[in-house]
Structure 1
Amino acid sequence: MADHVELRTGAYYDSVSLMQVSRSVAAAPGVEAAQVAMATELNLDVIRGMGFDVPDTAAPNDLVVAIRGDDAGVASGQAALDAALAGLRSAATQSAGLGEAPPRRTLGGAVATSHANLALVSVPGRHAVVEAFDAIHAAVSVMVFSDNVPVEDEVRLKDAAAAADVLVMGPDCGTAVVGGVALGFANVVRPGSVGIVAASGTGAQQVMCLLDAAGVGISHCLGVGGRDLSSAVAGRSTRQALAALAADPATETIVVVSKPPAPEVLADLEAYAAGLGKPVHWATLGTGRPDLTSSVEALLAGVEVPVPAWPRWGTTSEPGPDGGSLRGLFCGGTLADEAMLIASRQLGDIRSNIPLRPGLGLGRDLRDAGHVVIDFGDDSLTQGRAHPMIDPSLRLERIAAEAVDPTCGVLLLDLVLGHGAHPDPAPELARAIRAARAAATAGGRVLPVVVSVTGTESDPQRLGSCATVLAEAGAEVFLSNAAATRRAVALVARDGSRTDSGTESSGIGAEQDTTTGEGH
């Protein structure tokens, strides 16, 4: 086998395009392994972890090409690379045609031409602030999908937006639905009267999908960015979004979804919401607070909708002979937070790259022999890479590593469907689950796998189909992330009974037909 590594200076491509290029190169005949990526620190760690020797001169604006195979394989990989990059260049340079005006080069110019009232910014974080200010100065609301934006810039943007009477959704706003139009990562849910304010992407998706399963639709989902309820940002966009939904005739009930908020910010927002004249429910995670599923159940009771038996697919797993440690590998940060809050009640301290409290962080390798939950969508793991809901390769590698780790007792995973996500993620994850369970068996271990799938039957990937594929690979699958977490904790604790002192959701754990996806 031979390794081919080269740097191409000044050849920038976005991470989603390079993910597709890498797959094309890796699929070329005779190629054993391949990675094509910008030379960010994270990507260099990944490529070196694959055994490639990357020159120390690599800089973030360099394109790294790493191909392993026999001589013919390296040659075919390079040919596939050149063809894929040529395709990208061709698509980027296509002319608009003789006599047509050239495309607008600024966001403000595009707004002026289109008369839009909402702009979406998705560029590297260091450039996102300028573009967002351009939208605000054009008097339109803006969704900032970009992450890695400094918090002080977020505050400046939101103060400017309030002064201009427009809304900033973000930065790091992954999910929004405005007037039925999905922006970023969003599920296909029925229209209705519930308005959502979300300082959380996957948390909002979980709430929307649970409501959809109960037959309840939404009017709008206004994302505000994961830091909006922090002390530094102080709920600036949440206040504006609450006021907008309170004034919206199509919205009858409002729910606020958030990762654990700053207590003083939550208290201020609760006082503000009390004067809006519409009922406001709180799906805000935190110690001693209900999980997202319980919050949805409370909302359903408030609008007099029966709580359904939340779907579950797959047969019941048996724990390993020694219990082992919980390993939660998540694409959704809020779902990871929720899992840690639930699991820590029974299991104690859980280490993470997004720890619940100081002192529980992980080292650079993200490894520990104890209970671990990792958010693969955290900013530190997405620099120069597509979000794991699009490109799951880092998590798939970690699943394989946990399979041969004797301290791993249970794998807890999430899978988030909908627009913007991987078009067909279940087969790839199912192969990883099947391989992990087989590797554990070969090592004399039993490895249960529990998965929460956030999605609906109307999503392009189809909830029931994805869940069935995962169940056939040996996983237990739940629509409720809280239910999945409790099941994983029960397997670690080697006890199938209730395992925490929090509110137990009435519908959790109902059996589900693995073929039709319909509850009994």
Structure 2
Amino acid sequence: METRTKIYQNIYQDSVALMRISATISDMPGIEQASGLMGTTTNLDLLLESGLLDARPNTKPSDLLFVIKGKPEALDDAFTAAEIALAPKESSESSGGVKRLAPTSLLGALEEAPMANLALISTPGEFAAAEAMKALRAGLNVLLFSDNISVEQEIILKKYAAEKSLLFMGPDCGTAIISGVPLAFANVVRQGNIGIIGASGTGIQQVSSLIDQLGSGVSHAIGTGGHDLSKEVGGLTMLAGIHALANDPQTKVITLISKPPAKEVADKVLAAASKTGKPIVVNFLGADASQIKGPHITAASTLEEAAHRAVALDKGEAADFTSAGPDDLGINERSKIIARTIKSPQRYLRGLYTGGTFCYEAQLLLQNHLSDICSNGPVGNAQKMTSPFRSEGHTVIDLGDDVFTRGKPHPMIDPTPRNERILQEANDPETAVILLDVVLGYGSHDDPAGELAKTIGAARTSLKGSGPAYIASICGTVNDPQNLADQKAKLEAEGVTLCASNAEAVILALQVVKRSQQ
């Protein structure tokens, strides 16, 4: 294998676009790995840490760097494909029918679309705050996909936005749906009466997709960014979102999603939500549900419960849905059937997640039932893994964590890293169940279930039909680019047991493992 590097001066692509291009090139014959990044110091450090580069190239932050590793005869075609993908795209036609290149600045974009009122910003972190402030000063609401800006900068931007009656989503905001338009990683859901405000991208995706599947719709889904409900930031975006949805005539029910906020922040958020007079569903994952109370407030313990309870309130019904527990009759009957395929020494659960919030929720659901859970991002009673690259006991892994994505696309975009880990776990004679999430929607791989099915089929072939059971949930809708029904069919054809939600999949996997140990 040979590694070749090319620098493209003064060409910019956002990180999501570069991850998708990198994933496409990595799939080309003879190519082992491809990575396209802007030439910032942080990005070069990532490439050096990943081992894809062994020396720091002479790049400027405005340069785009592509590094491709593969067979020498395949590299020319790979770089040709990269250059085609990087070529400037034509913008709209002028009044004379002349094609124009896409604008290269915020002001240029506003000249082409003067009625625009929102900017989605995805730039290297060291430039993100400045670009976000430019957008706010131009009177635009902002979704800041970029991360790595300081807490001080975040507070300044959010306070400025509040002064100008603008909405600032982020930093590190991966998902939003505004007036039916999916932004960043989001699903295609029908419009309706339920508004969502969430500090979690995959949390918003799970709740909005389930709302769609249950026959209701979403007015707006507002992402806050992962730091918003910290004591320092004080929930500024969630509070602004509550105010916006309170005054939105389309929104009849509001759903709040987050890991447990700082207490003083939670108190402010719950007080503001109660004052809207609208029904509020609150899912602070892992928080004591008895402490989530107030006028018009309904607590939910899982993402699944949040979706079902919001839909019930939208329909004027009792919001009393509860996610299945270990004693659920249906879960137990299904687990009996699956457990018959498990043989000694198979006894461990291995959760391989692409969505960080799904990994977090899984640990919360398992912690009172399994005593020896390990994770690369431990929650509750879980222990830190000795190495994230080798499972031990019951293991629940977030494969989207930085340790796995340095210099590589996120596993939602390129499923290769998780597929490789599935083969590793399947060949461990102690693995009883492999628990999986599949996330559809814009930004995700074109056919994640298809790639997953191929891997599971290959694992079963190598093990001559034996091996672990596979349990999964799919987060998506029939209107997503990948189509939920098509994705389900591909996994079911490989014998994967599908569940309606991550919570249900976790409890089913738990019961199968418990039966395998009896």
TM tier relative to shorter chain:
0.7 to 0.9
- Change over 3 Å in CA distance of 1:126–1:383 after alignment to 2: farther
Q: Is 1:346 the counterpart of 2:369 in the alignment? A: yes
What is the alpha-carbon distance in structure 2 between the residues aligned to residue 56 and residue 406 of structure 1?
Answer: 40
- Change over 3 Å in CA distance of 1:399–1:166 after alignment to 2: same
- Change over 3 Å in CA distance of 1:217–1:57 after alignment to 2: closer
Q: Give yes or no for contact 1:352–1:366 (8 Å, CA) kept in 2.
A: no
Tell me the residue number matched to 2:249: 249
Which of the numbers 313, 316, 334 marks the counterpart of 1:304? 316
Q: Is 1:64 the counterpart of 2:67 in the alignment? A: yes
Give the partner amino acid of 1:122. Answer: S
Give the partner amino acid of 1:84. Answer: A
1:205-258 Cα offsets, whole Å, 9 max, x none, are: 111122222211121111111222222322110000001000011111111112
Tell me the residue number matched to 1:88: 85
- Change over 3 Å in CA distance of 1:372–1:13 after alignment to 2: farther
SS of structure 1 residue aligned to 2:271: helix
1:276-308 Cα offsets, whole Å, 9 max, x none, are: 221211022115441111233333443434869
What is the alpha-carbon distance in structure 2 between the residues aligned to residue 102 and residue 22 of structure 1?
Answer: 25
Tell me the residue number matched to 1:151: 151
Tell me the residue number matched to 1:476: 497
Q: Which aligned pairs between 1:267-416 and structure 2 lie closer than 5 A?
A: 267-289=267-289, 290-302=301-313, 303-305=315-317, 316-318=337-339, 319-356=342-379, 360-362=383-385, 365-379=388-402, 381-416=404-439
- Change over 3 Å in CA distance of 1:487–1:136 after alignment to 2: same
Tell me the residue number matched to 1:425: 448
Give the partner amino acid of 1:272. Answer: A
Which of the numbers 464, 469, 473 marks the counterpart of 2:485? 464
1:78-103 Cα offsets, whole Å, 9 max, x none, are: 23123213313544699989988876
What is the alpha-carbon distance in structure 2 between the residues aligned to residue 468 and residue 101 of structure 1?
Answer: 43
Give the partner amino acid of 2:237. Answer: S
SS of structure 2 residue aligned to 1:345: coil
1:7-63 Cα offsets, whole Å, 9 max, x none, are: 3356677564465456446533xx274445557555556566xxxxx5345688753
Q: Which aligned pairs between 1:508-519 and structure 2 lie closer than 5 A?
A: none
Deviating more after overlay: 239-248 vs 377-386 = 377-386
What is the alpha-carbon distance in structure 2 between the residues aligned to residue 94 and residue 80 of structure 1?
Answer: 27
Give the partner amino acid of 1:421. Answer: S
Give the partner amino acid of 2:238. Answer: T
What is the alpha-carbon distance in structure 2 between the residues aligned to residue 363 and residue 137 of structure 1?
Answer: 47
What is the alpha-carbon distance in structure 1 between the residues aligned to residue 216 and residue 307 of structure 2?
Answer: 11
What is the alpha-carbon distance in structure 1 between the residues aligned to residue 476 and residue 87 of structure 2?
Answer: 35
Which of the numbers 4, 15, 20 marks the counterpart of 1:6? 4
Gaps of 5+ in 1: 49-53, 69-73, 498-520
Give the partner amino acid of 1:388. Answer: P
SS of structure 2 residue aligned to 1:187: coil
Tell me the residue number matched to 2:28: 27
RMSD of aligned alpha carbons: 3.4
- Change over 3 Å in CA distance of 1:166–1:223 after alignment to 2: same
Q: Which aligned pairs between 1:118-197 and structure 2 lie closer than 5 A?
A: 118-197=118-197
Give the partner amino acid of 2:67. Answer: V
- Change over 3 Å in CA distance of 1:405–1:268 after alignment to 2: same
What is the alpha-carbon distance in structure 1 between the residues aligned to residue 128 and residue 428 of structure 2?
Answer: 40
Using structure 1 for the length normalisation, give the TM-score: 0.82
Tell me the residue number matched to 1:508: none
Q: Give yes or no for contact 1:418–1:460 (8 Å, CA) kept in 2.
A: yes
User: How many residues are aligned here?
Assistant: 479
Give the partner amino acid of 2:82. Answer: L
Using structure 2 for the length normalisation, give the TM-score: 0.82
Q: Which aligned pairs between 1:441-460 and structure 2 lie closer than 5 A?
A: 441=463, 446-460=467-481
